[in-house]
Amino acid sequence: MARNQTTVWFITDGKPGHRNQLRGLAGALHNQVAAECLWLELAGFWSFFFKLIGRSLVCWQWPRPDFIVAAGRKTHLPLLLLRRLFGGVSVVLMRPSLPLSWFDVAVVPAHDDPPRRENVQLTSGALTDIRVAESADPAEGLILIGGPSAHYGWDADGLLAQLDKLFTAMPRVSWTLTTSRRTPQGLLRQLGPAQFSDLDAITLAPHDQTDRPWLLERFARSGVIWVTEDSVSMIYEALSSGAAVGVLAMPKTSEGRVSRGVNRLLDERQITPLSTLSNDGEMYSAQPPLQEAERIASILVQRYSL
């Protein structure tokens, strides 16, 4: 039987991607138990340590935790210290920098290929705060552009050619295109009337003019989402929304876990390559949306009888 109150401490390093994963799990726990979620942001280990021994950390006044959940390299040692001092189940999101055996639960994306251990929970991509869209419109499309990374290069001309093919293949879709911090600034200057004659059907939203609530709202209304393949986290977020998801090719600079993860999604027809859309005139059917945050929350609740 569920307890009256479950107390969860969330430790964040402040990075948006890590915070979004924690928010996803917090929301999922709220849906399953009466959860009190308390948040601690860390600037660095030594700052945390001196505040801890000086008892100036706010958590000294908090109720004892049932779980302590952390995401981000800077949070790993603080998570273990807080677990030692205050008890609770230690949960680390993503593969940690410290031995897996030091944590009660490690929630790790399968494409990171961690060792198979009893305390490791594999997920399809990182957890996310994206929820299944209830009223998505197949005539509303979202395009998410990434940029150069450790595993992918950048080819603006090739990307523009792919966008031209996409717009031609799906002429009835009204598109919103947004960029990321990694997107070279010159791309938006190239997205003009000289490049696309039907630019009126495209809304351009540079990343510095958007925020997380804006993106969540776009995920909720878009029935079609295309993502550059370097943006692996965005691919999994799109799959979590329940939309039909396509991928725009980017030049690989190395073959590794990231590209293998994308290839697996292509092989399983969870995402559509542009070549399939161009040849067949349609995308693969939308897959059942990923609900990894809800699944992990359910595992925690059941395993620890909350």
Q: Which domains does the chain have, with CATH numbers?
A: 6-128+292-303 (3.40.50.2300), 137-280 (3.40.50.2000)
- pLDDT given for residue 202 in this prediction: 84
Contact call for residues 28 and 294 (beta carbons, < 8 A): yes
CA distance readout (Å), 15 to 38, 113, 120, 208 = 17, 23, 23, 16
Q: Contact, 222 vs 243, CB < 8 A?
A: yes
User: What's the whole-number mean pLDDT along residues 31-38?
Assistant: 94
Structure-token match 């945050």, residue found? 293
For residue 257, name the pLDDT band (cuts at 50, 70, 90).
confident
pLDDT for 100: 96
Q: How much is the pLDDT for 306?
A: 61
Q: What is the pLDDT of residue 223?
A: 95
- Please give the pLDDT value at position 248: 97
Q: Is the pLDDT of residue 274 over 90?
A: yes
All residues at 6 or more sequence positions from 32 whose CB lies less than 8 Å from its CB, including other chains: 2, 294, 297, 298, 301
Q: What is the pLDDT, as a whole number, of residue 112? A: 87
Could you read off the pLDDT of 179-219 as tens digits, one per residue?
Answer: 999 999 888 778 765 566 555 678 889 999 999 999 999 99
